[in-house]
Amino acid sequence: MTSLKSRLLDDGPAVLAPGVYDAFSALMVERAGFEAAYLSGASIAYTQLGRPDLGLMSAKEVADTVARIAERVALPLIVDADTGFGNALNVIRTVKTFERAGAAAIQLEDQQLPKRCGHLSGKTLVSKAEMTGKVKAAVDARASEDTLIIARTDAIAVEGFDAAQVRAEAYLAAGADVLFIEAPQSEAQMADIASRFADRVPLLANMVEGGRTPLRTADDLSSAGFKLVITPGAMVRALAFMAEEFLTELKTKGATAGYRGRMFDFAQLNALLGIEEMKADGDRYDAEGREAAE
């Protein structure tokens, strides 16, 4: 399998990585034929805590989620590591832990704790020097050069567009493999980012429904010079819409029959999850165990 690093450096179209939050959602993304998945810290908070993206997740909770996903699917997993969960020493531990758990790429941002979603207001940043040190620490900590370090800056909303590009230059010089300039507010800003950086480093574009950045297709973003496109919370937002619709019908009608054409039944879901393959493995190993005991 081609590594994510090799894929981002080739001449092919941008990699589109849907946001996931557990092994089930990652399995669905893999079955749909995507090349990578993005483990969204926001989506983990949404689904596991029932809370917004305000920096509530711990490093261990994210690492445990990475490990469960990596055990179930072979997709390259891009992991949102927030601020690295502390200073440069914490970043070192975070990178080592996430990489061992199965991360193919690890994303760090320059917000201060407590961090918040890049499309929310009220963010504060660490200094450019501190974030540069974190990027260097992350690069030095990884065990494999195929593990990508993604440097994200939230400076557009705090210090302005020009300052964000200056920060991105510093993070690139520190060794970042991918740059993520969060929440550009117009297509002109996105074009400026691509003009300045696309020939030197893969760029990430974040598509958030209702966010600050204009929504564009992966093909459009690829043509504009972006190599990695993520939709971090889109699946959760779609599932929340469907769940509300489903539960409204169930509450009103007292049965699921009216929703039957829009859901898997018991057998279909088990087939999706691979029950027959697992039962076959169990039967085979049980048989081998009995034969060995005789």
Other CB atoms within 10 Å distance of the CB of residue 26 = 24
User: Which residue, chain included where needed, has tokens 């072979």?
Assistant: 74
Domain ranges of the chain: 4-232, 264-294
4-232, CATH topology level: TIM Barrel (3.20.20)
Predicted local confidence at residue 148, as pLDDT: 98
More confident residue, 115 or 43: 43
Which phi and psi (to 5°) does residue 231 adopt? -125, 75
Q: SS3 of 148, please? A: strand
Q: SS3 of 80, please? A: strand
More confident residue, 174 or 284: 174
Predicted local confidence at residue 287, as pLDDT: 77
Q: Left, alpha or beta for 22 (phi > 0: left; psi -120 to 50: alpha)?
A: beta
pLDDT (average), residues 127-156: 98
pLDDT over 80 (residue 294): no
**Over the stretch 177-219, which tens digit does the pLDDT of each residue have?**
999 999 999 999 999 999 999 999 999 999 999 989 999 999 9
4 contacts 75 by C-beta, under 8 angstroms: no
Question: pTM for this one?
Answer: 0.94
